[in-house]
Amino acid sequence: MIDLAEAPPPAAPRGLRAGAPARPVRVLCVTPSGPDGKGGIDRLYLYLREGGRLAEQDGVAVHYLASRGEAQGAGWIAAFPGRALAFAAALARFRPDLVHINFATGGSLVRKRVLAALARRAGCPVVLHFHGQFPVDGIARRDLSGRLFLSLCRAADRVIALGEVSRERFVAQAGVAPERLRVVPNGIPDFAAPLRLPKIAAAPGRPVRILFAGEVGTRKGVPVLIEALARLGRQGAWTCTVAGNGAVEACAAQARAAGLAERVHFTGWIPSGEVHRLMIEADIVVLPSEAENMPLSLIEGACAGAALVATPVAETRAVVRDGLNGVIVERDANSVARALAGLIDDPARLGRMQAASRHLYAQHFTLEALAERLRAVYAEVARPG
């Protein structure tokens, strides 16, 4: 058994406070919904704020602004003029040294293109931080989304990609010069220490716990997961929790129809603290998604020492090392079922993958590493004060 509570902690990145400038670099950071947002982008910055990262003692003063706010669906169109005015007022009042714009695709492209133009007009450098699915088809067709994406890239002093797959796409398909690109993987706080691995050894005989955490619906593959679980049937001892908002009732009905009502539990939306509790309890975290960038749920699973099962989309392979800490699967029920059965039936292999996940998190995906990488980008771009 590996007891990570007794192991020496991983070496931390160089302290942010060392060498901080006399005046903090002022950063106007734009996220979709603000501190109470339920999406992954807002959650990243909530973690940074709660962890005291990117603070004035680190040589950075960050002012946060929501570009969409609480508006839902197409409601952002009516709300956005007010958000743009608030952004312009923040430029004038806060006088940032740079603007850090986090964006995805869809309506986010329109909003962020307007804000980037306002920042440029104010003479403020722009850092673009891309969290969405790369619009390969839109760029090829030069449709509205593709043109907006390319225009945004041209407006940036630096473009942040979450991993090497995205970086290569920015160069090859969006024409972004390599010297303007930086790779900054997502990072999260260590919510799982101390942690005893393998988990299943602590409670022999209990069912293997499978967890899905994210938007419930087709895009992230919940119907595929339920079909896979139905194919497992009574094979092995397992339970599954599906945590997240979205098409909860439709997917719960599918599970009931498949005879899985006693094995599959749906929570609906729950706060991040409750998600973390489920991650710590989980033996396997699964994400059979059709489109991602670098999913926080997989990084959270790695932090919590879970084996990972996921599809090979975008930066997933950076978090799920096939055969080491998890299994890369095709997005079909047979592939997912085989991967889950292979872990359920082999506790020793499951335990090795759990330990490898935890080690991978400590090496690459800590909150400290995220903050250090962002501060390095800020130092490159900030205009002289």
Report how far residue 48's alpha carbon sits from residue 42's, in angstroms, rounded to the nearest whole number.
10
- Dihedral, 277, 354, 242, 102 alpha carbons, nearest 10: 80
Burial of 3 (0-12, 13-18, 19+ CB in 10 A): exposed
Residue 57: per-residue pLDDT = 83
Question: What is the value of pTM for the model shown?
Answer: 0.86
The pLDDT tens digits of the residues spanning 20-29 come to 557 899 999 9
| ∠ CA 255-268-48, rounded to 5° | 135
Residue 8: per-residue pLDDT = 33
- Map out the domains of the chain as residue ranges: 2-187+366-381, 196-364
- Determine contact, residues 372/270, Cβ cutoff 8 Å: no
- Is the pLDDT reported for residue 261 higher than 90? yes
Report how far residue 185's alpha carbon sits from residue 13's, in angstroms, rounded to the nearest whole number.
14
Lowest mean pLDDT among 59-63, 187-191, 200-204, 251-255: 200-204
Residue 201: per-residue pLDDT = 66
Q: What is the CATH number of domain 2-187+366-381?
A: 3.40.50.2000
Residue 74: per-residue pLDDT = 84
Query: pLDDT grade, residue 247 (50/70/90)?
Result: very high
- Is the pLDDT reported for residue 1 higher than 50? no
Q: What is the mean pLDDT of the chain?
A: 90
Residue 72: per-residue pLDDT = 80
Right CATH for 196-364 from 3.40.50.2000, 2.130.10.10, 1.10.340.30, 1.10.3210.10: 3.40.50.2000
Residue 19: per-residue pLDDT = 52
Q: What is the mean pLDDT of residues 37-63?
A: 87
pLDDT higher at 9 or 271: 271
3-state helix, strand, coil in the chain (%, to 5): 45, 20, 35
Lowest mean pLDDT among 15-19, 184-188, 247-251, 325-329: 15-19
Residue 38: per-residue pLDDT = 64
Same fold, 2-187+366-381 and 196-364: yes
Nearest to 127 by CA among 92, 176, 59: 176
208-213 and 284-287: which strand pairing? parallel
**The sheet that has 25-31: what strands, in order across it?**
60-66, 25-31, 98-103, 126-130, 158-161, 181-183
The pLDDT tens digits of the residues spanning 141-165 come to 999 999 999 999 999 999 999 999 9
- Is the pLDDT reported for residue 51 higher than 80? yes
User: For the chain, how big is the Rg over CA atoms in Å?
Assistant: 21
Report how far residue 255's alpha carbon sits from residue 253's, in angstroms, rounded to the nearest whole number.
5
Percentage of the chain modeled with pLDDT above 90:
75
Residue 7: per-residue pLDDT = 32
Residue 2: per-residue pLDDT = 34
